[in-house]
Amino acid sequence: MLDIGANLEDVRRRIRAAAQRARRDAEHISLLAVSKRVDPVRIEAALAAGVRALGESRVQEAEAKIPTIGGDVEWHFIGPLQSNKAAMAARLFDVIHSVGRDSLIPRLSAAATAAARTVRVYVQLASCPDPPTATVIAATGELCHAVDAAEGLQLEGLMTMAPYDPDPEAARPYFAHLRLLRDALAAGGRARLGLSMGMSGDFEVAIEEGATIVRVGTAIFGERPT
């Protein structure tokens, strides 16, 4: 059995070090433990070690898993969200990181409202290493406005994923793109948004570029079964 507690402490240490390099307060950076395809024993060990937010990427897996996990835990959906799973996702999850098109918003809003709950939302952006264009800024602003206007939803921030590369530095321009996009929206009058970016292989770079929540799985739970 992996020492989940030791893994978590190492990840937290690396978060603090990355925040210090970026002259940021590590207390403002949240850790999301990605529990997809992780068995309940390891999840319970993570909760015992202080994890309070878990991330899943498949609605059906989460539907079976969530009722079996005890404790005060916040559930985040981080995978691709299909339209026919949107209503279920809004009922199961506290936070959804993958709203990348406006057609999802009415479905999420209707389900959240019917369940008398508020679901926090990150608008997902395609990975891009270039500075955001005026067109991208405007389109993102429109999507953010649509979330703002939807009953039962609360806009939390922006999300992206960098393409896989064994060199963490390769992810930097993709994370910088999201930070610049967030800053452009703030300059246009929008409240400063959170940034969901960075995974096990590159979360330190993401923190240096402004991430407010990092999604870490393998570095905590070890390799998942295929």
Looking at this protein, which amino acid is placed at residue 192?
R
Angle subtended at Cα 107 by Cα 163 and Cα 123, rounded to the nearest 5 degrees: 30
- Hey, which bits of the chain come out as E strands? 30-34, 53-56, 74-77, 95-99, 119-124, 153-159, 194-196, 213-216
- Would you state the pLDDT for residue 9? 97
DSSP 126-155: ----SPPPHHHHHHHHHHHHHHHHSTTEEE
pLDDT at 133: 97
Hey, where are the domains in the chain? 4-221
Model confidence, pTM: 0.96
Q: Which candidate, 126, 83, 123, places its Cα nearest to that of 103? A: 83
40 contacts: CB under 8 Å, gap ≥ 6: 65, 68, 69
Q: Element (H or E) spanning 105, and its range? A: helix 104-114
Cα–Cα distance measured from residue 92 to residue 89, given in angstroms and rounded to the nearest whole number: 5
pLDDT of residue 71: 77
pLDDT value of position 2: 74
C-alpha torsion sign, points 174, 179, 180, 186: positive
Tens digit of each residue's pLDDT, the chain (226 residues): 579 999 999 999 999 999 999 999 999 999 999 999 999 999 999 999 999 999 999 999 999 999 999 778 999 999 999 999 999 999 999 999 999 999 999 999 999 999 999 999 999 999 999 999 999 999 999 999 999 999 999 999 999 999 999 999 999 999 999 999 999 999 999 999 999 999 999 999 999 999 999 999 999 999 877 6
| pLDDT score, position 224 | 79
**Domain 4-221 - what CATH class?**
alpha beta
Q: Are 94 and 74 in contact (CB under 8 A)?
A: yes
